[in-house]
Amino acid sequence: MNMFTKAITKKPCKALIDGISTAQFVEAGEKPEYELSARQHDKYVEILESLGLEVLDLEADERYPDSCFTEDPAVVMERCAVITNPAKDSRNGEKEEILPAIRKFYSDDQIFHIEAPGTMEGGDVMRVGDHFYVGQSDRTNAEGARQFNEIVTKFGYTSSTVPVTEGLHLKDFAIYLENNNMLVTETVNKLEAFKDFNRFVVSPDELYAINSLYINGTVLVPEGYPKTLKIIEDLGYPVKLVDTSEFKKIDGSLTCLSLRF
């Protein structure tokens, strides 16, 4: 069971309104409100700190509208860190901007890079113990997954790939809550890769709540999804509700907003 002591977050920028949106969880054309997103971000950081994490909260970067989603340009673990190679041009530069923060915690011989033609975003990487499930999606290709596996196996980790056949990232449609429990969609529930987990299918009208976040025994759950909340509470997890309404408008959710290690 993974215990976290540190996190890297990044304040939302005013250019957030131009963030990438597939409108998978909101009406097309909805735009986030900057001031509210800043308050929601600060509350998120406060919750992480209350759960025992030391948070490095980076300043906003107006060049990259989606850069508050620090989970995507890197994947971090105890023994190494992988700088990803985001597929979208508007996000690709984030990999360079996250590097100084990563170097505060990892030596150069622990930092690796996904190189073109490989692409990867951290939202497609779900950790279970020392194994990583890597979603092959529009953002993470087979070559990116191959390079990732080559890196992490040197440090005693393993990885395997699963298809992302709906939406953006793997962790929008499957999330591991420790204790062998997983929240999934009906489609992901049928994947052979996850057959040995206790799978709990989230109602189609609450799919956004699949991306809940396990932190040191507590589960952060987005506000407004009572059926999913009940599933998690019935499993015995303490819960903290978090308002992420503005980040949802540009495909962002709870895990996206931090790198945890």
Burial class for 248, CB neighbours closer than 10 Å (0-12, 13-18, 19+): buried
Geometric angle at alpha carbon 63, from 57 and 65, rounded to 5°? 70
The enclosing H or E element of 40 equals helix 34-50
Alpha helices in 79-137 (DSSP H): 89-92, 94-103
Annotated catalytic residue, options 13, 68, 80, 256: 256
- Which position among 13, 41, 80, 169 bears the catalytic label? 169
Catalytic-residue membership of 256: yes
Report yes or no: 28 and 250 within 8 Å, Cβ to Cβ: no
* Pairwise CA distance, residues 197 & 195, whole Å: 6
CA angle 68, 114, 117 (to 5 degrees): 110
Coil, strand or helix at 167: coil
- 142 has which bridge partners? none
The whole-angstrom separation of Cα 103 and Cα 99 is 6
Q: Look up 113 and say whether it is catalytic.
A: no
Active-site residue set = 169, 256
